[in-house]
């Protein structure tokens, strides 16, 4: 009887010990921050229109809803950078050839601490190359990029943003996304053209506002991406002037601008190289400011960044997102 | 059992503890190991300059790389590549479900209804509903198409009944009974009716003087009191009058515009669009697409019953199917293969009771159909009888395309080959029961205009002209088109790209499956009179199956684009292209070119001023040769079909010059000049292959003698030739300057402003020429020319809500006021040039496009054009009988009123979940309820009987229409 009782006690003790170990193991380590960190990209232009590259942590002040928050970290133009390059090429062989060459040549000039990953966006996000500083491997992979499939830019923006945020949260690096695309609204699988289904329907007024479906999609995508703080740079290889593509391109520009990035639309093939160089110059010149997320009262907060130079003179041209989505506590 | 449980419990718990502990430690240091043991191991790091040279990689970058690997999951067999299957909406079902509702409850009373005294809205019931869904093809346990196979499917249905307002002139109640005592002319002066039965030569006629009231060639007695005696009324005509609507309004002027109807048309349509894309491997894509639509369209009735002369009602089907394979042979070579087919079909619905033999019911003999014939009454009366009682059209085509694009140094070469085979199976007799015309001349005074009445002539049963279409067989038309195209996009040097292309188009003439095709040949001698012009038949007497030659045409295209002065914000483009049209498988007349196999007899009065061609009592004559009649003389005495056999095809040339300039504030300005030149365009009535010469006009009254008149034609065995809208003879030239300002989205504003300044000239847009031998005289502003037009499209996203400037905090206010957007379209379009025409055409049908005379020294413009006086009619005059007018075909400066259209759309989006939202759309078309004026009356009468409406605008159209939409987006 006693032995049985003892065995029961031993069993319960072991059970308690096991749960204790498990519970201890699940407790976050002391050095893990309780509050999620927010990281925002910022660009500063001088009066001469050049990017200011000498910023230090003490050069910046960040205000959320007009309340200053303490900067925890800063990555500047010399910091390590991950660049996610996504090709979304579905239309024109000529432009893709030029774009392949331009990207290869331009990325060669990036510093060694700029690692580049390569994707294609058609039919889902395909990883061709994980982040690497190996430019030869990158050039080799870029050469294999083809013109095929359906456009995937809009569908892959969010997963790419998630990936980028995740990397940026885990490491003190800058992460940017560069899309190289020639797609138009007609190249999507989703129905943004809103084509006439019944050609006999002469009383159809629902398609009078022809670009509504495009605008609606772009607006939703922009809204979805507003939760991320990753700058998107979009190099569109072919500017199209028709109404539907104007709405599409306008939406891409909005997405890029809202994220703190930029979009360039090439109206001739010869603009591809210069447009790419402009985007990469900007991409390289940015800062990422890290600070603790405030206790959440609202879903979003108004963001304001101040920066001063070495002589304590404030900069006028500071480019960053106007608002920031706060993480759920 | 207890022992076993105890035995296993402790090690299991220990194992669990260890695993959880290990995981948590990994997480805490941000390690690259996957969080989930089910995930495959991370790949080996890609060699980098840092780690291959033996140095440690930057630790933060390595952390980022590790996280990348965690997020991307398993690599594929190649070690570094993979597919993020689960990420992105591309791998989930997306789409929308929608309903658009229109109802007259929301609309304004249309102006055209209000002006006619209407106080109620026209019936409008419309529901348009559908869904679109797309995503990967996934069949549980069977197939997972993510990343490989995608589909999209759209369905849309429409159910609608929309009333349209019509205004016509019908005989008054008195006139229906033969009492024309209220009859007045267009100036409101009493109009006398004369009895054709009393026609006799005037012994006192002086042929040296013009015919006038005091010098008539023929005398006729007026009907006493302008009333046709009861016993003179034709029984058939009286019976048919019962089918005709009665006047129900008095818009005027005088007795005109006295019948209005708000008649609904109904449409029931269902359509689908499906698409399937499959990635065979990294290099091959296969696409399949199919769309189909079918429905029933019930056209508005001008009046109810078998006599309704509105458009026919019909069932329809259309669709297409395409299979396409794209093969990327290498990054520099892409092949495309495409097979497709499309079809279109329309089948008429019976009008009236299909079992009733209407000609028999109305005692009208000689009709080769059970349908009611059509009856036309001169004097702008509404016609009587079905427009096209029976038709069945089925057309389809098969096409195949192969193309390859090759990139080579500074060149991108493209080669494309395309072949299309067209089929059209048609049964569409234009007037199977006959079309009968009743002119004013038989109840007027011969030789005098502005006398008589078409409906009075009808009541007397006296037919002036008639035609009939007898189609024994459907026609089965076929033809083939082949296009071989090569182009080179050559990057000459940085900043300059040259595009050069050339196409060879091979167009084969149409054939008929059973060789039931014919035409009049002017090279063959007619056995009946020994003169040129005889009917020839495809596949007979050494002729091929096609009556035209196969053509091979060369089409060049060149364009240049460059950044002038190396300024990337400015782009200049120059381009030129030349294109040939191809042979058309069917023209406007579906059985065009089948004479002999079918018949289209024409009955014309020997002298339309003096006697009818037949009476309703006698019925349609049977004095023609019934088909089939494969004889060279089978078309004699008719208006035969004439196929142009010289292989000439329409040519279109275009040259452009444009400058694009990027502007601040995300704007872009483009100035574009476009020049157009078209020659040998397909026309119908411009060319008169067997015309009367204007030099015959001095024959005067003798020209009303049909036998004499027709003897003066170049090919007197025929009347005028039918060209089927396929004779290549029209010319046009145009210039346009278009300024486009685009504003891309910033601060919530997106828009486009387009202004166009243009001029389009041609020689064929008015139809019949005044002088067939002098087409240069026809060269003037096109009837469709618009000098100025402006359109503004804009969208404004209100700055409230998520990702917008204000109320982005998810508060209740944000839900109410957030995510609204406003879109608008405004267009202002200038008027078309006015074509001034005489009210009367007394040229014995010699001149089809008779013009008015311009009065020298009188300004046609008025200072402030209003609906009451849009232009000055005194600047124009009716030309004398048997003379040509001297005013232009279209006036160089007089134009119709401009039109404005303003549409507005308000959209509210409500987010239901992160992937689903609801969208409410309110669209208002013509939201200011603006009325656009109608075209002015341009008919100029003689001084003795002027057109009281000349220069005036009667009425306006338009009215606010609302549409409400609800969409679920997912």
Name the token pair of B644.
């142009």
Mutation target to probe the A interface, by most A beta carbons within 10 A, among B10, B12, B29, B90 is B90
> Which residue, A233, A106, A273, is CA-closest to B566?
A273
Contact of B25 with chain A, judged by CB distance below 8 Å, is answered with yes
Q: What is the pLDDT of residue B910?
A: 87
Q: What is the pLDDT of residue B16?
A: 44
Q: Where are the domains of chain A?
A: 37-75+287-325, 81-187+208-284
Name the token pair of B271.
């359509």
Q: What is the pLDDT of residue B252?
A: 80
Q: Measured between CB atoms, which of A203, A215, A251 is closest to B160?
A: A203
**Rounded to an integer, what distance in angstroms lies between the CA atom of residue B231 and that of residue B949?**
37
Q: What is the pLDDT of residue B27?
A: 35
Mean of pLDDT values over B641-670: 93
pTM beyond 0.90: the answer is no
Decide: helix, strand or coil at residue B78.
coil
Q: Where are the domains of chain B?
A: 20-36+58-75
Q: Of residues A300 and B350, which shows the higher confidence score? A: B350
Q: What is the pLDDT of residue B566?
A: 76
Contact of B81 with chain A, judged by CB distance below 8 Å, is answered with yes
Instruction: Assess whether pLDDT exceeds 50 at residue B55.
Output: no
Q: What is the pLDDT of residue B39?
A: 33
Beta strands in B646-689 (DSSP E): 651-663, 667-683
**Rounded to an integer, what distance in angstroms lies between the CA atom of residue B470 and that of residue B912?**
64
Mean of pLDDT values over B825-833: 96
Instruction: Assess whether pLDDT exceeds 50 at residue B569.
Output: yes
Q: In this predicted model, what pLDDT tens digit does every residue of B261-296 receive, in sequence order?
A: 989 999 999 999 999 999 888 788 899 999 999 999
Q: Identify whether the C-beta of residue B434 lies closer than 8 Å to the C-beta of residue B466.
A: yes
**Rounded to an integer, what distance in angstroms lies between the CA atom of residue B65 and that of residue B46?**
10
Beta strands in B511-569 (DSSP E): 511-512, 518-525, 532-537, 551-562
Q: In this predicted model, what pLDDT tens digit does every residue of A39-76 receive, in sequence order?
A: 889 999 888 778 888 888 888 999 988 888 888 888 88
CA distance B5 to chain A (A): 11
The string of DSSP codes covering A102-167 is: HHHHHHHTS-TTEEEEEEE-TTSEEEEEEEES-HHHHHHHHTT----S-B-HHHHHHHHHHHHHHH
| Cβ contact, residue pair A163, B68, below 8 Å | yes
- pLDDT above 90: percentage of residues in chain A: 28
| Cβ contact, residue pair A274, B497, below 8 Å | no
> Which residue, B247, B229, B251, is CA-closest to B238?
B229
Q: How many helices (H) and strands (E) does chain A have?
A: 7, 14
Residue B822 parent element (H or E): strand B820-829
Q: In this predicted model, what pLDDT tens digit does every residue of B238-256 receive, in sequence order?
A: 999 999 999 998 888 888 8
Q: What is the pLDDT of residue B120?
A: 75
Q: In this predicted model, what pLDDT tens digit does every residue of A133-172 receive, in sequence order?
A: 999 999 999 988 888 788 889 989 999 999 998 898 888 8
Q: Identify whether the C-beta of residue B952 lies closer than 8 Å to the C-beta of residue B251.
A: no
Q: What is the pLDDT of residue B481?
A: 95
Residues of chain B contacting residue A268, judged by C-beta atoms under 8 Å apart: 495, 497, 561-563, 571
Residue B820 parent element (H or E): strand B820-829
| Cβ contact, residue pair A93, B412, below 8 Å | yes
Q: What is the pLDDT of residue B803?
A: 66
**Rounded to an integer, what distance in angstroms lies between the CA atom of residue B275 and that of residue B292?**
12
Find where tokens 């997963």 sit.
A159
Q: What is the pLDDT of residue B3?
A: 44
CATH code assigned to A81-187+208-284: 3.40.50.410
Q: In this predicted model, what pLDDT tens digit does every residue of B733-757 receive, in sequence order?
A: 999 999 999 988 777 788 899 999 9
| Cβ contact, residue pair B793, A171, below 8 Å | no
> Which residue, B511, B353, B326, B371, is CA-closest to A123?
B326
* Most confident of the following: A200-204, A228-232, B506-510: B506-510
Residues of chain A contacting residue B154, judged by C-beta atoms under 8 Å apart: 191, 195, 197
Q: In this predicted model, what pLDDT tens digit does every residue of B187-206 receive, in sequence order?
A: 888 999 999 999 999 999 99
Which residue of A lies nearest to B745 if distances are taken between CA atoms?
A: A250
**Helix A271-284 to helix A93-108 angle, to the nearest 10 degrees?**
40
């Amino acid at each position: 009887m006693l032995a049985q009782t003892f065995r029961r006690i031993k069993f319960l003790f072991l059970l308690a010990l096991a749960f204790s170990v498990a519970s201890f193991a699940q407790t976050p380590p002391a050095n893990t921050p309780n509050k999620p960190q927010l990281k925002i990209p910022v660009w500063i232009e001088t009066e001469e229109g050049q990017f200011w590259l000498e910023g230090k942590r003490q050069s910046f002040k960040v205000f959320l809803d007009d309340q200053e928050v303490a900067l925890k970290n800063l990555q500047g133009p010399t910091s390590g950078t991950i660049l996610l390059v996504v090709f979304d090429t579905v239309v024109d062989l000529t432009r893709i050839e030029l774009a392949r060459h331009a990207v290869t040549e331009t990325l060669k000039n990036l510093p060694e601490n700029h690692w580049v990953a390569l994707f294609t966006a058609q039919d889902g996000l395909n990883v061709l190359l994980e982040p690497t500083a190996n430019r030869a491997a990158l050039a080799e992979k870029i050469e294999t990029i083809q013109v095929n499939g359906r456009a995937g830019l809009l569908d892959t923006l969010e997963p790419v943003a998630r990936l980028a945020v995740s990397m940026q949260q885990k490491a003190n690096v800058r992460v940017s996304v560069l899309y190289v695309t020639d797609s138009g609204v007609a190249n999507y699988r989703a129905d943004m053209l809103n084509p006439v289904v019944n050609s006999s329907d002469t009383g159809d007024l629902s398609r009078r506002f022809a670009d509504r479906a495009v605008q609606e999609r772009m607006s939703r995508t922009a809204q979805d991406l507003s939760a991320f703080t990753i700058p998107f740079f979009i190099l569109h290889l072919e500017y199209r002037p028709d109404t539907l593509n104007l709405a599409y391109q306008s939406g891409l520009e909005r997405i890029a601008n809202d994220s703190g990035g930029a979009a360039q639309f090439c109206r001739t093939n010869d603009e591809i190289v210069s447009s790419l160089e402009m985007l990469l110059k900007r991409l390289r010149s940015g800062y990422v400011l890290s600070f603790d997320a405030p206790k959440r009262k609202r879903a979003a907060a108004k963001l304001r960044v101040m920066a001063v130079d070495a002589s304590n003179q404030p900069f006028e041209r500071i480019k960053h997102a106007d608002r920031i989505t706060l993480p759920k506590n | 059992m207890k022992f076993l449980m105890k035995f296993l419990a402790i090690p299991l718990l220990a194992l669990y503890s260890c695993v959880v502990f290990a995981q948590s430690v990994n997480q805490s240091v941000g390690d690259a190991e996957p969080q989930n043991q089910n995930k495959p191991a991370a790949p080996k790091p890609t060699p980098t300059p840092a780690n291959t040279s033996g140095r440690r990689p930057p630790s933060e970058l390595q952390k980022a790389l590790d996280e990348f690997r965690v997020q991307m999951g398993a690599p594929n067999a190649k070690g570094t590549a993979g597919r993020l299957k689960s990420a992105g909406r591309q791998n989930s079902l997306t789409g929308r479900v929608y309903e658009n509702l229109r109802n007259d409850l929301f609309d304004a009373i249309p102006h055209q209804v209000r002006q006619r005294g209407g106080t109620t809205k026209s019936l409008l019931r419309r529901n348009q509903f559908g869904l679109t869904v797309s995503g990967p093809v996934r069949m549980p346990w069977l197939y997972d198409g993510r990343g490989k196979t995608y589909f999209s499917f759209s369905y849309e249905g429409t159910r609608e009944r929309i009333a349209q307002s019509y205004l016509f002139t019908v005989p008054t109640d008195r006139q229906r009974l033969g009492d024309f005592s209220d009859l007045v002319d267009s100036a409101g002066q009493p109009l006398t009716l004369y009895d054709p039965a009393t026609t006799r030569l005037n012994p006192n006629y002086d042929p040296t003087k013009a015919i006038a009231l005091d010098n008539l060639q023929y005398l006729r007695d007026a009907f006493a009191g302008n009333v046709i005696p009861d016993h003179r009324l034709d029984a058939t005509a009286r019976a048919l009058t019962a089918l005709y609507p009665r006047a129900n309004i008095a818009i005027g002027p005088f007795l005109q515009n006295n019948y209005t109807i708000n008649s609904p048309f109904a449409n029931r349509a269902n359509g689908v669009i499906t698409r399937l894309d499959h990635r065979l491997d990294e290099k091959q894509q296969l696409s399949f697409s199919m769309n189909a639509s079918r429905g029933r369209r019930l056209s508005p009735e001008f009046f109810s019953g078998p006599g309704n002369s509105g458009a026919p009602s019909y069932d329809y089907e259309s669709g297409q199917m395409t299979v396409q394979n794209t093969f990327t042979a290498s990054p520099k070579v892409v092949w495309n293969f495409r097979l497709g087919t499309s079809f279109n079909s329309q089948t008429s619905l019976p009008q009236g009771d299909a079992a009733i033999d209407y000609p028999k019911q109305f005692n009208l003999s000689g009709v080769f159909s059970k349908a009611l014939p059509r009856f036309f009454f001169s004097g702008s009366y509404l016609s009587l009888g079905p427009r096209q009682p029976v038709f069945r059209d089925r057309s389809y085509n098969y096409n195949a395309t192969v193309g390859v694009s090759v990139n080579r140094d500074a060149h991108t070469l493209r080669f494309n080959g395309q072949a299309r085979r067209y089929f059209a199976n048609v049964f569409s007799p234009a007037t199977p029961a006959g079309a009968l015309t009743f002119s004013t001349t038989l109840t007027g005074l011969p030789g005098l205009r502005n006398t008589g009445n078409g409906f009075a002539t009808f009541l007397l049963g006296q037919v002036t002209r008639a035609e009939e279409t007898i189609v024994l067989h459907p026609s089965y038309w076929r033809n083939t088109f082949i296009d071989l195209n090569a182009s080179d996009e050559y990057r000459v040097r940085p900043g300059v790209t040259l595009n050069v292309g050339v196409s060879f188009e091979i167009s084969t003439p149409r054939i008929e499956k059973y060789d039931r095709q014919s035409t009049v040949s002017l090279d063959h001698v007619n056995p009946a009179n020994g003169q040129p012009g005889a009917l020839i038949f495809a596949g007979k007497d050494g002729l091929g199956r096609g009556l035209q030659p196969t053509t091979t045409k060369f089409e060049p295209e060149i364009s240049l684009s460059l950044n002038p002065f190396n300024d990337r914000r400015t782009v200049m483009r120059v381009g030129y292209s030349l294109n040939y049209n191809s042979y058309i498988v069917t023209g406007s007349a579906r059985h065009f070119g089948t004479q002999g196999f079918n018949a289209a007899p024409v009955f014309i009065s020997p002298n339309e001023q003096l006697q009818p061609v037949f009476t309703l009592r006698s019925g349609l004559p049977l004095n023609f040769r019934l088909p089939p009649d494969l004889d060279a003389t089978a078309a004699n005495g008719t208006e035969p079909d004439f196929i142009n056999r010289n292989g000439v095809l329409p040519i279109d040339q275009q040259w452009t010059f444009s400058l694009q300039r990027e502007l601040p504030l995300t704007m872009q300005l483009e100035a574009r000049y476009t020049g157009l030149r078209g020659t040998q365009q397909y026309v119908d009535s411009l060319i008169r292959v067997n015309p009367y010469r204007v030099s015959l006009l001095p024959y005067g009254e003798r020209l009303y003698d049909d036998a004499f008149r027709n003897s003066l034609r170049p090919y007197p065995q025929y009347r005028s030739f039918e060209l089927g809208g396929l004779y290549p003879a029209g010319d046009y030239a145009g210039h346009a300057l278009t300024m486009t300002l685009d504003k891309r989205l910033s601060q919530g504003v997106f828009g486009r402003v387009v202004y166009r300044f243009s001029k389009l000239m041609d020689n064929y847009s008015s139809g019949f020429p005044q002088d067939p031998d002098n087409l240069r005289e026809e060269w003037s502003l096109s009837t469709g020319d618009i000098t100025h037009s402006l359109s503004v499209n804009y969208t404004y996203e209100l700055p409230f809500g998520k990702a917008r400037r204000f109320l982005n905090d998810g508060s209740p206010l944000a839900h109410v006021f957030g995510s609204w957007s406003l879109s608008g379209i405004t267009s202002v379009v200038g008027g078309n040039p006015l074509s001034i025409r005489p009210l009367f055409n007394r040229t014995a049908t010699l001149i089809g496009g008779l013009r008015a005379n311009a009065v020298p020294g009188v300004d046609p413009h008025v200072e402030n054009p209003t609906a009451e006086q849009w232009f000055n009619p005194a600047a124009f005059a009716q030309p004398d009988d048997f003379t040509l007018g001297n005013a232009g075909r279209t006036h160089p400066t007089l134009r119709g009123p401009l039109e404005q259209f303003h549409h507005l759309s308000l959209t509210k989006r409500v987010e239901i979940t992160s992937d689903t939202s609801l969208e409410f759309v309110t669209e208002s078309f013509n939201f200011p309820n603006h009325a656009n004026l109608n075209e002015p009356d341009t008919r100029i009468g003689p001084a003795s009987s002027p057109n009281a409406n000349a220069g005036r605008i009667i009425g306006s159209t338009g009215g606010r229409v609302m549409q409400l939409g609800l969409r679920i987006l997912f």
